[in-house]
Amino acid sequence: MPKGFNVGVEVRHPAFFAKGDDERALNAMLMEFGANRIIMDSRPIFAVPGDTEALREAQNEKPRVPVHAISTASTPMMRFIGDPTLERNTPYLANWLTKIPQWINEGKKPYIFIHTADNADAPQLAEQFYQTLRTHIALPPMAPLQTPEISSQISLL
């Protein structure tokens, strides 16, 4: 990859979450090349019974791996897969309200990717998290959330 290009690697093999030699070797390699280990936080979708089709599908498709909040490069990347019921995400986002400001104070520029099992309310969850994060660290105001109606989207056909 070209120098200065932010790269993220999302790993799913259990060996990379076992805190053993394989994980240490992976993290050392990522640090050597300045690549980010994408931190997967899928706890919310596994914390409840699959009471919707989207949640059941996410539980079948997404990896159930421990959260290893490690920064291997200058732009830590966190992928949060939230519960479609927005208020059930609050306890899982709490630790990120400390970790993300820590990274920013270290001069890092975190990327946060937030979505939900059905993605219907993902923009609202992202906005809610950003507004809460602003109470922990100085961040610019967020642009107004605009969610176009399905009928107003451009067709690719």
CA dist., res. 90 & res. 65, Å (int):
19
Q: Total structural domains in the chain? A: 1
Domain with residue 118: its CATH number is 3.20.20.410
What digits encode the pLDDT tens for the residues 38-79? 999 999 999 999 988 999 999 999 999 999 999 999 999 999
Binned at pLDDT 50, 70 and 90, residue 152 comes out as very low
Question: 26 in a domain, yes or no?
Answer: yes
Question: 145 in a domain, yes or no?
Answer: no
Question: 79 in a domain, yes or no?
Answer: yes
Question: 153 in a domain, yes or no?
Answer: no
Question: 157 in a domain, yes or no?
Answer: no
Buried b (16+ CB within 10 A) or exposed e, 46-74: eeeeeeeebbeebbeebeebebebebbbe
pLDDT at 151: 44
User: Which domain does 116 fall in, by range?
Assistant: 8-137
Question: 107 in a domain, yes or no?
Answer: yes
Q: List, in sequence order, the alpha helices (H) in the chain.
A: 21-33, 43-46, 53-61, 90-93, 96-105, 122-133
Q: Can you give the pTM of this predicted structure? A: 0.87
Q: Taking residues 124-139, report their average pLDDT.
A: 95
Question: 73 in a domain, yes or no?
Answer: yes
User: Which residue type, as a one-letter code, is found at position 20?
Assistant: G
